[in-house]
Amino acid sequence: MTSVPLHALGWSEAYAQAAREAIAAASPEVRPSLEPGRVASTGRTSMQVWTAGGPEEASLPGSLRHAAAGGRMLPVIGDWVIVQRPAEPPLRIVEVLPRRTSFARAVQGGLTEQVIAANVDVVFIVTTPDLDFDLPRLGRYVAAVQLSGARPVVLLNKVDAVRDVSPFAEAVAGLSPDLPVHAVSAAVGQGLDALRPYFGEGVTVALIGSSGVGKSTLTNRLLGREAATTGAVRDLDGQGRHTTTTRTLYRLPGGGLLIDNPGLRDIAVWDAGAGGSRFGVIEELATRCRYRGCTHRTEPGCAVRRAVERGEIGADLVVAYAEAQGLSPRKSRRR
């Protein structure tokens, strides 16, 4: 088993303090068997957790699963957890430490979150300059990642297949000030050197994007080995087949960590410090609107539209909020 210092996995003093408090709350006879670890992959009843001793299997006790129904967090990939080391393996996950950021997708029409990864620092939003390219969707991705506290970076993959990528890059760069955009080709290794600086020691990077945009190929290139399964390109639309079905936290040879996510048609990233909702900032602004039931479209005195004009929030985030709430110019919501 390969040992690894916890700080190389993203450990910080904030997590250390939370771990000390969690361990101190346990009974005296249990405390010596408790230690922190980070979730590297998940299953229905078991997970792989990186501890100071290396990767180990850990079980998820029924008591924790039942507690989740009452509002306690279930561990997801990237979480820091407290595990108990019994006399015989596997480890037992007994507590999930507070999350710095939550990476989630919208379910139930965008009104509920499903957390799929935690404690992500940088998000590579992967697209291609072909049929997958959808500027409004990219805008939603960028706005949601910014709201979470993570840093968005857009990757235009498979650029070797187009004659001129500059119109696509310029369109993406216009979504947000200082938004990094990199033209790459994971298949041939083009442009990947520009991505290395994002992977500092302990920094966690997640890949998101539609199925078939080359996330698994990019993962393999960054790792320098065949770790993620890749698929052939479809003749119909030139897109790769969706091959990633599970989320895995990888350690990169030069430092840093990478999460390869299954293809997502649409995602939302929640900021754990903003009340658990990606729309918390809009809901707070809406309380300052001149009219009750403001749709944030054409009404005078709209605080939400003022925030968009000042560049404080993205217009695409407002559109996503309106869609989730069922708002339209002719239909307002009573508050």
Residues flagged as binding site for GTP: 157-160, 209-217
Query: Tokens 């996510």 correspond to what residue?
Result: 261
Residues 278, 270: contact at Cβ < 8 Å? yes
DSSP, res 167: H
Instruction: Give binding residues for Zn(2+) as ranges.
Output: 289, 294, 296, 302
Distances (CA, A) of 274 to 81, 208, 236: 22, 22, 43
Instruction: Give binding residues as ranges.
Output: 157-160, 209-217, 289, 294, 296, 302
By three-state DSSP, how is residue 203 classified?
A: coil
Residue 75: left if φ>0, alpha if ψ -120 to 50, beta else—which one? beta
Neighbours of 209 (CB within 10 A): 27
Residue 224: left if φ>0, alpha if ψ -120 to 50, beta else—which one? left
Torsion sign across C-alpha atoms 201, 274, 43, 90: positive
Of 259, 266, 39, 275, nearest in space to 147 by CA: 275
Q: What are the backbone dihedrals phi and psi of residue 105, each rounded to the nearest 5 degrees, phi first?
A: -120, 155
Residues 120, 153: contact at Cβ < 8 Å? no
Distances (CA, A) of 206 to 78, 133, 152, 180, 272: 10, 19, 10, 15, 17
